[in-house]
Amino acid sequence: MVELSSIFGSEIKVTIEPRRPARTYHGFAGVAGLTAMSLGSRGFGLNVTGTIRDASRAAVETDVAIIESLQWLGIADYSHQGSNYYRVLWEDFEVHRDSSGKSIHLVATGEFTCRFTIHGKGLI
């Protein structure tokens, strides 16, 4: 089981979303013309929001590319602060931009930072 902070760093916030039902609808709207079929659960949502900090812009860009590549990995188990997340598949990666469109910032401490969110789906 991989610790999430070993991938995303120590400045992360992990949230989960409840499971959502998967349904399909057949027919047409009207007098008893629409039927629904339950297909089970889509799994729980796992969202990781964080900040990447590094001494150079190139290092931040490399970290962003590594996190982005998680979307093409297979299913894996993760943990964070005593919670376990089983069979997670990463689906969507977002880099947060400011009002001028910049995503990587040079801060007063001389470091480069980038805020991100990656969305996963627990398949249990």
pLDDT at 90: 95
- Which structural domains are found in the chain, ordered by start? 2-122 (2.40.30)
pLDDT at 29: 65
Average pLDDT for the chain? 89
pLDDT at 15: 95
pLDDT one-digit tens code per residue, 84-118: 999 999 999 999 998 888 999 999 889 999 999 99
Query: What sign does the dihedral 62-66-68-72 (CA atoms) show?
Result: positive
The contacts of residue 60 (CB under 8 Å, 6+ apart) are: 52, 53, 54, 104, 112, 113, 114
> What gap in Å lies between CA 46 and CA 49, rounded to an integer?
10
Query: From the centroid of its chain, how far is CA 6?
Result: 15
> What gap in Å lies between CA 32 and CA 63, rounded to an integer?
54
pTM for the whole thing?
A: 0.81
Residue 48 exposed, middle or buried by CB count within 10 Å (0-12, 13-18, 19+)? buried
Specify the higher pLDDT residue, 38 or 106.
Answer: 106
Token readout for 38 is 């339950």
Output DSSP code: residue 4. H
